[in-house]
Amino acid sequence: MPELKTILHVDDDEDILEIARMALQLVDSFDLHQFSSGPAALDSLDTVAPQLLLLDVMMPGMTGPELSCHIRSIDRHKDIPVIFMTAKAEDSMSKELLESGALGVITKPFDPMTLGSQIRSIWSKQKNLAIHQ
């Protein structure tokens, strides 16, 4: 499993996009591609070719889980792991998202200083899984 570098981030809140950008580019040094809606992200999916999708759950139009479903239906992108970000920090919701195949769930508010390491730690979980398989 290669090192995590390219992340595609989708959130409808411009401020959160900005905080996440600073956290993942300034504090960390990911190759970050951000979009404020599901359709815009879908359009650039081929160009970006992300290793990981970081998706907000509650978005107008297309929600995070809907976007994830959509991407999974495209054969060449179906294996891209997904981490959801949500302000709804309920146990039941996290469980549902994980059961639907998400790699991890990060609750908002997140700490920008540790967001990168949080994502890496979830990423490595997937790496371990891959080894076991």
Partner 1 sequence: MKKTIAHDNSGNSIEYYIVAAIVLTILIVGFMAVTNVAVQKDSLTLTTGFILLFAATASGVMNYFRSKKTALRMAANSLAVELHEKALLEHTIVNVTSSDGKILAVNEKFTETFGYTADEIVGKPSCLLYRHGCDTAQNEELMETVFSGQAWSGSQRLVSKSGQCVMVQASIFPKVNEFGEVTGFVSIRTDLSKAIAESVETGRNSVVDDLPDGVFIYDPESFEINYGNASFRQRVGWASDDHAAKSVTSLFSDDDLKLFRRYLVPLINGETRRAVFEFSHASGPVEVLTHFVEDVDGKRRLVSVVRDISARKQAEQLKLSSVSTVSHELRTPLTSIKGALRLLESGVMGDLTPDVSKLVGVAHRNSERLLAIVNDILTLEELHFGKMAIRAKDVDLRDILNEAAEAIAPFAAECEVKFVVETTSKPALVQADPDRLMQVMSNLMSNAAKFSPVGSGIILRLEDQDSAWRVCVEDKGPGIPEHARSTLFDSFIQVENTPGKAFPSTGLGLTICREIIQKHGGRIAFDTEVGRGTTFYFDLEKSAPLKQTGKLSAVA
For partner 1, the closer of residues 75 and 111 by Cβ is 111
Instruction: Read off the DSSP letter of residue 101.
Output: T
Q: Which of 23, 52, 62, 82 binds partner 1 (CB under 8 A)?
A: 23
Phi-psi region of 7 (alpha: psi -120 to 50; beta: other; left: phi over 0): beta
Alpha-carbon span 13 to 121, nearest angstrom = 25
Among 3, 79, 99, 111, binds partner 1 (CB under 8 A): 111
129 binds partner 1 (CB under 8 A): no
> Which range binds partner 1 by CB under 8 A, 47-55, 69-77, 90-98, 118-126?
90-98
Near partner 1 in 59-88, by CB under 8 A: 87-88
**Is residue 109 at the binding interface for partner 1, with CB under 8 A as the rule?**
yes
- 39 vs 6: CA distance, rounded Å: 19
Quick check: 99 binds partner 1 (CB under 8 A)?
no
User: Cβ 95 to partner 1, closest distance in Å?
Assistant: 8
| Beta strand ranges found along 11-89 (DSSP E) | 31-35, 52-56, 82-86
13: contact with partner 1 by CB under 8 A:
yes
As a whole number of angstroms, the distance between CA 48 and CA 43 comes to 10
- Based on the shown chain and the rule CB under 8 A, indicate whether residue 21 belongs to the binding site for partner 1: no
Buried b / exposed e over 1-33, threshold 16 CB at 10 Å, is eeebeebbbbbbeeebbebbeebbeeebebebb
Interacting residues with partner 1 (CB under 8 A): 13, 15-16, 18-20, 22-23, 26-27, 87-92, 108-113
